[in-house]
Chain A
Amino acid sequence: MATFLIRRLIQMVIVLLASAIVSYALLYLAPGGPTTGLRQIQQGGRNSITAEDIARIKARFELDLFLPYRFTRWLAGFPSGPITIGGQTFFADTPAGCAIPGQVRLRYPDGTSEIIEEGCEEYVTFADLADRRTSRGIIFGDFGNSQVILRDRPISVLIESRLPYTLQLMGAALFISILIGVPLGIYSAVRQYSRFDYVMTTVSFVGSSLPTFVIGIICILIFAIAAKEAGLPYLPPGSAVALSDYTVPWIGTVESESTLDRLLHFIMPCGVLVFVNIAGYSRFIRSGMLEVLRLDYVRTARSKGLRERTVVLKHALRNAILPFITLLAGVFAELFGGAAITEAIFNWPGLGRLLVDSIERTDYTVAMSLTMVSIFLLLLGYLITDILYSVLDPRIRLS
């Protein structure tokens, strides 16, 4: 077991690194960044932007460095300048980036010529890096600074402010949907083709057939706007807390930022997520249970005269839950990643929204930080699933 764990951990680190490199390279290719639109706002004479201005902004946000150095600096804060060993400085003049790209003219025999960017006119050297601010690196917990969304301020500020809300929403939604979905699935399987089963099937199909944003908008229209107009108790349509006190029929005055206020704001986004999740979970459990319930050993157990409850819960469930575990591998990443669309509809200040925002507004340092944490949690989830598998199913040997 110990050797398995160690080997598995090493493998995880390798996959993590590979994923980080690929994601980083992909974002490197993506257009945008802090210089987007700058050339278009230079309209007025007083605000003119020159190529030097662009170069300075690029230097400030490290956009002028070569990809490998940018990556290592982001990952581990290295290199932060020339390397000094025993008082001797190495690599001081080694280029780490390109401040001004070179231009090469291609002259064609027919007399025309064309200038293309190629090579480098002025390099950024390791020595130049010493004057720059360097993050400690994401593996040491320093996410670096945001480029667009919260210009020049640490990304950790952004994450810290949103993490609690995401954990709250995703955690509760997940917990409740498992709490409801699993028993529903079992019950539907045991009472296959009963009226209950049909109703549950339909409800869960509807849940998985509608995009979240449609459900969300319908909920807002019914429970927030229509209910309020009808003088019935209503739910606030969005945000995590109210800005001022408000009165809800039957409940009375709700104080802004009180627990009740937070709870009322929480119900709709959480409800939508639960509704959608239950659909998938209960179907999966139902299908697994149906399969297992017909197996010989369950029949044997029944024929032994064991109580149905024991048969279902103790014998059948244990096996039926096996594929379900694979489904849960992504849970950690899901908890952190948030639900972008639900958060957007209900204006919930979570991390899912932040990721979509950061990609839309091309703040790639933020996008990369969030992606990296998600990747880590996803891989961690896979590891835990593997271990759980072996615990639950002794037939699978860890090797």
Chain B
Amino acid sequence: MKKQHILRRAAILFVAAVVAPMIAACGGSAATEPQVIRETVVVKETSAPIVETVVVKEEVEVAKDTSFTTPHPILGDVKVRQAIAHCVNRPELIKSVYPFLTDEQQQGLLMDTFLPKSHWAANNTSIVSYPFDPEKGMALLKEAGWEEGFNADGLPLFLKFTTTNAAFRQTWATVLEQQLKDNCGIAISRTHAPGSWWFGDTTGLSRRDFELGAFAWVGQTDPGGISLYACNQIPLPSNNWEGQNYMGWCNETASKAIIAANNTLDKAERVKQYAIVQEEFTKDMVSLPLFNRLEAAAANKNLKNFKPNPTEYYTWNVEEWELAGKDTVVLAFTQEPASLYTLVESAAVATTAAGLLSARGVTSLDYDYQAVGMTKLPSIGDGATNEDVEVKAGDMVWTTSGEAVALAEGVEVTNAAGETVVWDGSSALTMKKLTVSFEMKPGMKWQDGIPVSKADYELGYKVSCDPESGATTFTFCDSVATFTQESDTKQTLVFHPGVQWPTFYTGGFGASPAHQVIESDGPYKGKKLAEVPAKDWPTLPEVAEKPLSTGPYKIVSWEKGQKMVFEANENYYGNAPKIKNLVIQFYEDTNAAVAALLTGNVDVVGTETLGAGAEVETVVKAAEEGKLQVQTLASPTWEHIDFNLFIK
């Protein structure tokens, strides 16, 4: 009997041990819930908030929105931001990520503004620079009222730092955390979020859900920058979160200058305006530029004419490559292209692979453009005109916010003098109207030998600008008033008044093979490509997987998850590629691709595959030992920390 008692007690204990935590868990959450509710219900309110529906487009109403209007208690003060800039030892950050570089090389990666030092528009003279100087940083903090980690109100000097979970970001962010703490007593707490959250459409950065936010911008040949630094590009709930001025930086001088820089075709003027933006940008210290990423492209040491470039895909001169004793060159990718239809997919891997299949019009080497398939780059007076035209109500014009609208009272445009004006509905308005003609070199053929014709370009234009095509953006299409394919080689674009694309000369619309007959099963079997509606193009294997080539290579097969096989296109109108076959092999991780490069199974590992991680060091070391050839480049991609100037 006694034994039974003991056992029963044991059983009860056992059950309690199981159930108690469950109850505790449930009870715990039940207990916290009222707290949460108390928090969500508005602070110290006596009456409920008035709920009213907002008409999205009505700007007058919207202007009253107060989200992101309260300056951040810490970062709202420019002195604190400047202090942070002084407290960060950026050379050390670079060293933590690229320890294998010489001091000089490391110095070369340092960024002081939003353009790399060698860029044609970089301002290296009148900007404010922030060398590592903790004493100055501390002094600035003191001036701003922060002493020993607290301000007068007892608020701790504590900031949340958000970035992605990429390994190299974890590395430099760890160092950054220690620097800020040791040098200036600024405590940060790091969150390394998955990219899908940080760069998500309705999460993270897009919703300005950060205090200190680190990420990289991919610098482009043209500096652009309106959407990053203009006042009207601050993402807010009231403008549907449009724009990329995540800091919430509104500096009238800089905003005007960045808009002006992008509304003129005069390079000297652009340099001047960009210099102003950079000056203000560094003075206000709203975003701390850290460094250009180092990129490296590695190849078999016998591969000749391998010339990767920071602003062009490394396969730009693939037809000149030579590999002694081999008729196949193997490229390694760590990500499989999602589609070879570049209209719907613009990832680097897809563009690189698709680039093999198309004859290039221009290349963009060294932060500039060069004509290749075009007879010349059109310029004003030589292939392009930029004339003043008088516009009247109802004419389609291009607004300052980048939309084509019929001119009416209240529309904001840039006039011919480059000033931003809001049309009053009656006064005379002159705007710039841009017309460009592109002349391609003759002789371009599809891989089946049929010449590229006028109809092909017309189809290309029609599909690219079809709203159903699956393309992500139509801004360029919208800016074109008329498209005329005058002959098999000449294309003329007339833009809406007000359109001033600084890089108008880089090319028009490409061609699509109108004559191609669909062979894959499905509703379009036996029809010609021109008869297929644009919305079904991305799903067609003829478009997405095996497009007809005009470029140096043509695609033979694409085995999903394994490789893409290309061979030289005998109907390529340029110089025939010297290597007959080209294979793109997919690897799961960079380590595996590098291993394959070292064992000779792969000939080229490009910049997009090597990335910025530890593997760069591996190939650099292997190159020092003479096993490989490696080109290291200061990439146009630059890391920076954005300061969110406001709180929600």
A contact set with B: CB distance below 8 Å: 30-33, 35-51, 53-54, 56-57, 60, 100, 102-110, 112-117, 119, 121, 145-146, 148-154, 157-158, 161-162, 165, 220, 224-225, 228, 236-244, 343-345, 347, 349-350, 353-354, 362
Contact B224 A43 (CB under 8 A): yes
- Residues in A whose Cβ lies below 8 Å from that of B204: 31
Contact A243 B328 (CB under 8 A): yes
Of B122-130, B415-423, B447-455, B467-475, the one with at least 4 CB within 8 A of chain A: B467-475
- Residues in A whose Cβ lies below 8 Å from that of B197: 31-32
Interface: B66 (CB within 8 A): yes
B301-338 CB mask vs A (1 if < 8 Å, else 0) is: 00000000000000000000000000010100000101
Contact A33 B201 (CB under 8 A): yes
B215-240 CB mask vs A (1 if < 8 Å, else 0) is: 10110101011111000000001101
Contact A239 B467 (CB under 8 A): no
Interface: B614 (CB within 8 A): no
Nearest CB in chain A to that of B501: its residue: A46
> Which B residues, 593 to 633, have Cβ-Cβ distances below 8 Å to chain A?
595-596, 598-599, 601
Q: How far is the CA of A48 from the CA of B225 in the complex (A)?
A: 11
Binding site of B, secondary structure by majority: helix, strand, loop or mixed? loop
Nearest CB in chain A to that of B199: its residue: A37
Contact B242 A50 (CB under 8 A): yes
Contact A109 B46 (CB under 8 A): yes
Interface: B589 (CB within 8 A): yes
Q: Can you report 12 A-B residue pairs in the complex whose CB atoms are below 8 A from each other?
A: A35-B200, A36-B199, A40-B215, A43-B224, A45-B501, A46-B503, A114-B66, A148-B338, A151-B341, A152-B339, A238-B595, A350-B561
Contact A32 B196 (CB under 8 A): yes
Nearest CB in chain B to that of A117: its residue: B237
Contact B402 A239 (CB under 8 A): no
- Residues in B whose Cβ lies below 8 Å from that of A239: 562, 585
Chain B nearest CB, measured from A235 CB (Å): 11
Q: Given contacts A37-B195, A40-B199, A151-B341, could you give 4 more A-B pairs where the C-beta distance is less than 8 Å?
A: A31-B194, A108-B42, A153-B544, A243-B583
Specify which of A116, A119, A238 is in contact with B592 (CB 8 Å cutoff).
Answer: A238
Contact A151 B339 (CB under 8 A): yes
Contact B224 A44 (CB under 8 A): yes
Q: How far is the CA of A96 from the CA of B197 in the complex (A)?
A: 26
- Residues in B whose Cβ lies below 8 Å from that of A158: 560-561
- Residues in B whose Cβ lies below 8 Å from that of A225: 595, 598-599
Chain B nearest CB, measured from A385 CB (Å): 26
Nearest CB in chain B to that of A221: its residue: B595
Q: How far is the CA of A48 from the CA of B478 in the complex (A)?
A: 11
Specify which of B45, B205, B467, B479 is in contact with A56 (CB 8 Å cutoff).
Answer: B467
- Residues in B whose Cβ lies below 8 Å from that of A114: 65-67, 237
Interface: B51 (CB within 8 A): yes
Q: How far is the CA of A30 from the CA of B47 in the complex (A)?
A: 36
Q: How far is the CA of A161 from the CA of B201 in the complex (A)?
A: 31
Interface: B346 (CB within 8 A): yes
Contact B595 A113 (CB under 8 A): no
Query: A116 and B237 in contact (CB under 8 A), knowing A237-B595, A344-B588, A347-B587?
Result: yes
Contact B45 A100 (CB under 8 A): no
Most buried by B among A56, A158, A220: A56
Chain A nearest CB, measured from B581 CB (Å): 9
Specify which of A38, A43, A105 is in contact with B54 (CB 8 Å cutoff).
Answer: A105
Chain A nearest CB, measured from B386 CB (Å): 16
Contact B47 A109 (CB under 8 A): yes
Interface: B484 (CB within 8 A): no
> Which B residues, 465 to 505, have Cβ-Cβ distances below 8 Å to chain A?
467, 470, 472-476, 479, 501, 503
Contact A150 B51 (CB under 8 A): no
Nearest CB in chain B to that of A58: its residue: B201
Contact B224 A113 (CB under 8 A): no
Contact B560 A162 (CB under 8 A): yes
Interface: B345 (CB within 8 A): yes
B200-218 CB mask vs A (1 if < 8 Å, else 0) is: 1101111000000001011
Q: Which 9 A-B pairs have the closest CB atoms?
A: A32-B196, A349-B561, A161-B560, A152-B538, A35-B201, A115-B237, A151-B338, A344-B588, A112-B66
Query: A224 and B599 in contact (CB under 8 A), knowing A103-B56, A108-B45?
Result: yes
Contact A102 B238 (CB under 8 A): no
B34-70 CB mask vs A (1 if < 8 Å, else 0) is: 0000000010011101111110100000101111000
Contact A104 B501 (CB under 8 A): no
Q: How far is the CA of A271 from the CA of B309 in the complex (A)?
A: 42
Chain A nearest CB, measured from B324 CB (Å): 15
Interface: B104 (CB within 8 A): no
- Residues in A whose Cβ lies below 8 Å from that of B592: 237-238, 345, 347
Q: How far is the CA of A184 from the CA of B54 in the complex (A)?
A: 73
B521-565 CB mask vs A (1 if < 8 Å, else 0) is: 000000000000000001101001100000000000001111100
Interface: B569 (CB within 8 A): no
Specify which of B65, B241, B470, B585 is in contact with A152 (CB 8 Å cutoff).
Answer: B470
Contact A115 B54 (CB under 8 A): yes
Most buried by B among A57, A146, A154: A57
Q: How far is the CA of A47 from the CA of B474 in the complex (A)?
A: 7
Specify which of B49, B205, B206, B227 is in contact with A48 (CB 8 Å cutoff).
Answer: B227
Nearest CB in chain A to that of B64: its residue: A113
B263-283 CB mask vs A (1 if < 8 Å, else 0) is: 000000000000000000000
Q: How far is the CA of A41 from the CA of B217 in the complex (A)?
A: 9
Contact B501 A42 (CB under 8 A): no
Query: A48 and B475 in contact (CB under 8 A), knowing A41-B346, A115-B54, A353-B561?
Result: yes
Nearest CB in chain B to that of A56: its residue: B467
Q: How far is the CA of A332 from the CA of B623 in the complex (A)?
A: 47
Q: How far is the CA of A107 from the CA of B330 in the complex (A)?
A: 62
Contact B200 A36 (CB under 8 A): yes
- Residues in B whose Cβ lies below 8 Å from that of A31: 194, 196-197, 200, 203-204
